[in-house]
Amino acid sequence: MFCCIFRRRRKKLMQQPFPAAWEEIIRRNVAHYRLLNDDERARLQKLIQVFIAEKRWEGAGGLLLDDEIRVTIAAQACLLILNAAHDYYRNVETIIVYPSEVVPPERRPSFFETVLQPLEPPQPIAGQAFRQGPLILAWDETLQGGRHPGSGYNVVYHEFAHKLDMLDGAADGTPPLSARAAYREWIKVFSRQYLQLRNDLENGKPTFLDDYGATDEAEFFAVATEQFFDQPVLMKKHAPEIYRMLKEYYRQDPATRAGARK
């Protein structure tokens, strides 16, 4: 019964005309939107309508939320699931947006934890995704990444890639896949490329993938997702195996899309 209500509500949302003011926001703030064809834009708009309606949005740090913020974030988040099987990021309930980077509270050791060395002080963050909890974004970084692609850095792509990874309950760099063979291929390719990145960095070799991807497997997937959408032509040239796997996973070919629009 609950699922039927959800489906009816979503259908009703998608039948509503997409606000012209929202499309103006997307065209102004999300450069990748201009690379889509008419059919892709229409489908993305429907995703955005449902996504905005179903998520709880909170402004923090004095930020007053408005349609520009919600639509800009939703457009980038929904681009990732444009062609993929999805349930509108069912593991994202609340999105908290700060004006700029925020310093998280200092971690305190638990009562039973033995601290062998001083805890590192918390560092400013532009985004953070929790397995059980909200997703945090900095608005200035969100806007910069949306308006000026090409750097390989996009905080929305990064954090929502983490949430896709977490759909199976673990942040391990392997999102839910369709079949056992797909898991075997994914683990083979991503493990090899992850270890190669770590090895290259340790030996001072230049790398295409951002060095933050060497933090762990979960960050490797999130960083690779950023660069897949933001630097697709370069990724296809310098990391073709990763590009191939992400092309199959997201069911998109942004390198061809970028070339067609030149």
| pLDDT tens-digit readout, 213-222 | 999 999 999 9
Q: Quote the CA–CA distance of 161 and 180 in Å, as a whole number.
A: 21
Whether 4 shows a pLDDT value over 80: the answer reads: no
Whether 96 shows a pLDDT value over 70: the answer reads: yes
**For position 260, what pLDDT does the model report?**
67
Which positions ≥6 away from 167 have C-beta within 8 Å?
90, 91, 175, 176
Instruction: Provide the token pair at 251.
Output: 């069911």
Instruction: Provide the token pair at 223.
Output: 């960083």
Indicate the residue type of 203.
N
**For position 27, what pLDDT does the model report?**
97
Looking up tokens 């390989």, which residue turns up? 152
Confidence of residue 2 (pLDDT cuts 50, 70, 90): very low
**For position 262, what pLDDT does the model report?**
55
Pick from 102, 227, 76, 258: nearest CA to 160: 76
Determine the average pLDDT of the residues in 49-68: 95
Ranges of H-type helices in the chain: 2-15, 20-29, 38-54, 67-80, 139-147, 155-165, 180-202, 217-230, 232-238, 240-250, 254-260
**For position 122, what pLDDT does the model report?**
61
Q: Quote the CA–CA distance of 22 and 1 in Å, as a whole number.
A: 32
CA-to-CA separations, 233 to 140, 170, 239, 249, in angstroms, rounded: 26, 30, 10, 17
Determine the average pLDDT of the residues in 88-114: 77
Whether 107 shows a pLDDT value over 60: the answer reads: no
**For position 261, what pLDDT does the model report?**
62
Instruction: Provide the token pair at 102.
Output: 């925020």
Instruction: Provide the token pair at 173.
Output: 């760099």
Pick from 261, 232, 234: nearest CA to 40: 261
| pTM recorded for the entire structure | 0.90
| pLDDT tens-digit readout, 149-166 | 989 999 999 999 999 999
- Specify the range with the lowest mean pLDDT, choosing from 127-131, 191-195, 257-261: 257-261
Buried b vs exposed e over 186-198: b needs ≥16 C-beta within 10 Å? Answer: beeebeebbebbb
Confidence of residue 37 (pLDDT cuts 50, 70, 90): very high
Question: Is-contact 123 163, C-beta < 8 A?
Answer: no
Confidence of residue 188 (pLDDT cuts 50, 70, 90): very high
User: How many other C-beta atoms can be found within 10 angstroms of the C-beta atom of residue 211?
Assistant: 12
Q: Please state, rounded to an integer, the average pLDDT across all residues of the chain.
A: 90
| pLDDT tens-digit readout, 72-85 | 999 999 999 999 88
Determine the average pLDDT of the residues in 113-127: 65
Q: What percent of the chain has pLDDT over 70?
A: 89
Pick from 150, 167, 169, 174: nearest CA to 229: 150
